[in-house]
Amino acid sequence: MHRHFRVQIILRLLAIVGTLGGAYVLVTEWALYELALVAVLAACYFAWRLILYVEKSARDLTRFLESVRYADFSQGYTSDGRGPLFDRLRDAFRNVTREFRRIRAEKEEQVRYLENVVQHIGIPLISFRDDGTVELMNRAARRLLRTGPVRNIDALRDLSPELVDHLCTLDPGRQAMVRVTEDDRTMQLSVSVSRFRLRDEAHAIATIQDLRNELEEKEMEAWQQLTRVLTHEIMNSVAPISSLASTAHRLLEDVPAGDGADPSQNAVEIRADAREAVETIERRSKGLISFVDSYRSFTKIPNPTFEVLEAREMFENVRRLLRVQIEEHNLSCEIQVDPDPLEFTADLELIEQVLINLTLNAMQAVEGRPDARIMMRARIDRRSRPVLQIADNGPGIPPDVQERIFVPFFTTKEDGSGIGLSLSRQIMRLHGGTLTVRSEPDVETAFTLRF
Structure confidence at residue 160 (pLDDT): 85
Structure confidence at residue 58 (pLDDT): 75
Of the candidates 43, 73, 202, the one whose C-alpha atom is nearest the C-alpha of residue 131 is 202
Structure confidence at residue 447 (pLDDT): 93
Edge-first strand order for the sheet with 386-392 is 332-338, 373-380, 386-392, 444-450, 434-440
Confidence of residue 2 (pLDDT cuts 50, 70, 90): very low
Cα–Cα distance measured from residue 22 to residue 377, given in angstroms and rounded to the nearest whole number = 107
Structure confidence at residue 175 (pLDDT): 83
Let me know if domain 307-450 sits in CATH 3.30.565.10. Answer: yes
Cα–Cα distance measured from residue 205 to residue 281, given in angstroms and rounded to the nearest whole number = 65
pLDDT surpasses 50 at 171 = yes
Cα–Cα distance measured from residue 57 to residue 147, given in angstroms and rounded to the nearest whole number = 56
31-77 confidence digits (pLDDT tens)? 788 888 888 898 898 889 888 877 777 777 777 777 777 767 666 66
**Cα distances (angstroms) measured from residue 221 to each of 293, 401, 422, 434:** 19, 21, 12, 16
Who contacts 73 (Cβ-Cβ below 8 Å, separation ≥6)?
Answer: 67, 97, 100, 101, 104
Cα–Cα distance measured from residue 340 to residue 348, given in angstroms and rounded to the nearest whole number = 19
Of the candidates 381, 342, 373, 355, the one whose C-alpha atom is nearest the C-alpha of residue 435 is 355
370-413 confidence digits (pLDDT tens)? 888 899 999 998 778 899 999 998 888 888 787 778 776 666 66
Q: Checking DSSP bridges between strand 386-392 and strand 373-380, what pairing results, if any? A: antiparallel
The structural domains of the chain, with segments of one domain joined by +, span 5-103, 121-210, 216-299, 307-450
Which has more pLDDT, 124 or 265? 124
> Which DSSP symbol is given to 339?
S
Cα–Cα distance measured from residue 164 to residue 336, given in angstroms and rounded to the nearest whole number = 37
Share of the chain above pLDDT 90, in %: 10
Cα–Cα distance measured from residue 16 to residue 439, given in angstroms and rounded to the nearest whole number = 99
Average pLDDT over residues 423-440: 86
pLDDT surpasses 50 at 1 = no
pLDDT surpasses 90 at 310 = yes
Exposed, middle or buried, 431 (CB in 10 Å: 0-12/13-18/19+)?
buried
Pick the CATH number of 121-210 from 3.10.20.600, 3.10.105.10, 3.40.50.12160, 3.30.450.20: 3.30.450.20
Q: Angle at which helices 33-69 and 84-120 pack, to 10 degrees?
A: 30
Of 64-68, 78-82, 205-209, 403-407, which range is least confident?
78-82
Cα–Cα distance measured from residue 38 to residue 44, given in angstroms and rounded to the nearest whole number = 10
Amino acid identity of 4? Answer: H
Of 88-92, 338-342, 424-428, which range is least confident?
88-92
Of the candidates 125, 142, 140, the one whose C-alpha atom is nearest the C-alpha of residue 203 is 125
Of 24-28, 41-45, 209-213, 294-298, which range is least confident?
294-298
pLDDT surpasses 60 at 298 = no
Structure confidence at residue 379 (pLDDT): 92
Taking the model in full, what pTM does it have?
0.50
pLDDT surpasses 60 at 233 = no
Cα–Cα distance measured from residue 379 to residue 387, given in angstroms and rounded to the nearest whole number = 5
Which has more pLDDT, 285 or 179? 179
Confidence of residue 123 (pLDDT cuts 50, 70, 90): confident
266-278 confidence digits (pLDDT tens)? 666 666 766 666 6
Amino acid identity of 162? Answer: E
Average pLDDT over residues 220-244: 61
Of the candidates 369, 309, 367, 311, the one whose C-alpha atom is nearest the C-alpha of residue 339 is 311
318-348 confidence digits (pLDDT tens)? 888 888 888 888 888 999 998 888 999 999 8
Q: Which helix (H) or strand (E) holds 115?
A: helix 84-120
Average pLDDT over residues 301-324: 88
Identify whether the C-beta of residue 169 lies closer than 8 Å to the C-beta of residue 162: no
Mean model confidence pLDDT for the chain: 79
Cα–Cα distance measured from residue 279 to residue 75, given in angstroms and rounded to the nearest whole number = 105
Average pLDDT over residues 306-320: 91
Distance of CA 56 to the CA centre of its chain: 60
Cα–Cα distance measured from residue 351 to residue 342, given in angstroms and rounded to the nearest whole number = 15
Question: Cis before residue 149, ω within 30 degrees of 0?
Answer: no
CA-based end-to-end distance of the chain: 85
Who contacts 3 (Cβ-Cβ below 8 Å, separation ≥6)?
Answer: 80, 81, 82
* Residue 307 dihedral angles phi and psi, to the nearest 5°: -150, 165
Structure confidence at residue 335 (pLDDT): 93
Share of the chain above pLDDT 70, in %: 72
